[in-house]
Amino acid sequence: MGFIPVFVLTVLFFVMMFGIGFILNMLMKTTWFPAYLFVLVILPVVVYSIWDRSSVTLWEHLSSFHPVDYLTGIAGLAGAVLSGWTIRRLRLGGYKMF
């Protein structure tokens, strides 16, 4: 993949997880739930759903991912964590609606 599509994909995953995390944090009155959800549910579901279990082991499957796959996962996790940090800062700043 070229640089531009990788950059757009990374920014898209970051913004998407930040937005979803921010909305979840506001609705559920939590702080770190989206980050935990991303690590404990979303990443394993994605890995499991595309894994051909008949031919390779888990470690071979994880090593078959390209750097772009890991980069988008890290960008999504960063967006989820940053949404929790932002909500925490807003609450400490006195905004009660968050």
With b for 16 or more beta-carbon neighbours within 10 A and e for fewer, the 2-13 pattern comes to eeeeeeebbeeb
Write out pLDDT tens, residues 64-83.
889 998 999 999 999 999 99
What percentage of the chain reaches a pLDDT higher than 70?
99
Q: Which of 88, 70, 77, 68 is nearest to 17 (CA)?
A: 77
CA distance 21 to 39: 13
Write out pLDDT tens, residues 37-68.
888 998 888 888 888 777 788 888 888 889 99
CA distance 52 to 59: 12
How much is the pLDDT for 55?
Answer: 76
